[in-house]
A and B are shown apart, each in its own frame.
Chain A
């Protein structure tokens, strides 16, 4: 979860919200998903709060990273 990017976390959170809303899950699944949703919310909120713009310059080295 630590390496999860905000966008991925947000997407997962949206997915869980939809799954829980569908109401077709066992209690165990629901509770597990809700626990995950709580963690994702905390993660997303902390991402939004702590985010600091990273500024780089386009260099040829980028090729290796991507």
Chain B
């Protein structure tokens, strides 16, 4: 590598120990401010610039590093929208990767405890700033996955300076989030802080409190939901019973109509009617017969010989035989003459 300005150039080296501390990747043509010393490289007999520290000119080192890593991970597809996993609607366990001393963990506990205490909060305390932070955060995410210790992860910390938040801009953290089978909600700093973790996460929350709200449903909505389901069941069963009651009424009416007692009653009524009819007819016949009988009797009565006798006619008997001709008697025969009111004995002379 060589360092140039408009007119001159000098060979430069940066040893691994110093290089490792650089957060950005020096690029060809980048303007930099260098701290170091000039010494002779004895083998070649040349002056060289030995670089202890290098800072990009203009934009800060962190800003450059951020843009470089963002571009690199974007090119790898780490931020692709298609690979974002869905956040479960009702997690049994919410994993939290943050410091156990910061405000973030208290905010998360408070909000989840108020919002959805049915869940279990699984904490993985880590340092969130300093040299160890990125490694611990990435390791905690991996551990959650290995142990299947949560259904959703909140990874983040409260607000701080760009330097404080830096761990969440490190590649190992982004890659751990990318690897995670468990959906990750990132929650770093304040609303305005954007980190590489936010881009790699399945969901970005503006703050840890917001992450807690995104991770779990609201218990009040749940209560309303339970109630709505119950009311729906109640409505259905009430309507169902009503419909059945109606068809039962209809059937019961039909049954009443088909009731044997009703049938018998109807038959009895018909029977009564018929019986009445027969009675009437009998009376009619009887009256008519009776009348004709009386007429006959009257006729007979009119022909009664006795009745003729009352008008002065008589019947003559000879030896108890009625005499209808003079030839039937002889002189001396004893005759009986019957009148209407008695008999006369007489002798034929």
Contact = CB atoms under 8 A, between A and B. Distances in A.
A56 interface: yes
Interface residues of A, number: 36
Could you tell me the dominant secondary structure of chain A's interface residues?
A: helix
Contact of B123 (A14, A17, A55, A60): A55
Given A34-B237, A58-B123, A66 B147 contact: yes
Given A37-B233, A45-B223, A48-B219, A6 B118 contact: yes
B118 A20 contact: no
- Chain B: number of interface residues, binned into ranges: 35 or more
A7 B121 contact: no
Contacts of B123: 55-58
Contacts of B120: 53-56
Nearest to B226: A44
Interface in A22-66: 23, 25, 27, 30-31, 33-34, 37-38, 41, 44-45, 47-48, 51-58, 60, 62-63, 66
Nearest to A9: B226
Given A27-B240, A51-B117, A58 B143 contact: yes
A31 to B, nearest CB: 7
Contacts of A23: 236, 239-240
Contacts of B239: 23
Given A13-B226, A16-B233, A20-B240, A55 B148 contact: no
B109 interface: yes
B95 interface: yes
Contacts of A25: 240
Contacts of A55: 109, 120-121, 123
A58 B229 contact: no
Given A51-B117, A53-B113, A37 B229 contact: yes
Interface of B: 90, 92, 95, 109, 112-113, 116-125, 140, 143-144, 147-150, 219, 222-223, 225-227, 229-230, 232-234, 236-237, 239-241, 244
- The 10 A-B residue pairs whose C-beta atoms are closest, nearest first, are A20-B236, A51-B117, A53-B113, A37-B233, A53-B117, A41-B230, A58-B124, A17-B232, A44-B226, A54-B120
Interface of A: 5-7, 10, 13-14, 16-17, 20-21, 23, 25, 27, 30-31, 33-34, 37-38, 41, 44-45, 47-48, 51-58, 60, 62-63, 66
16 contacts: A5-B92, A10-B222, A17-B230, A17-B236, A30-B237, A41-B226, A45-B223, A48-B219, A53-B109, A53-B121, A55-B123, A57-B124, A58-B122, A58-B123, A58-B140, A58-B143
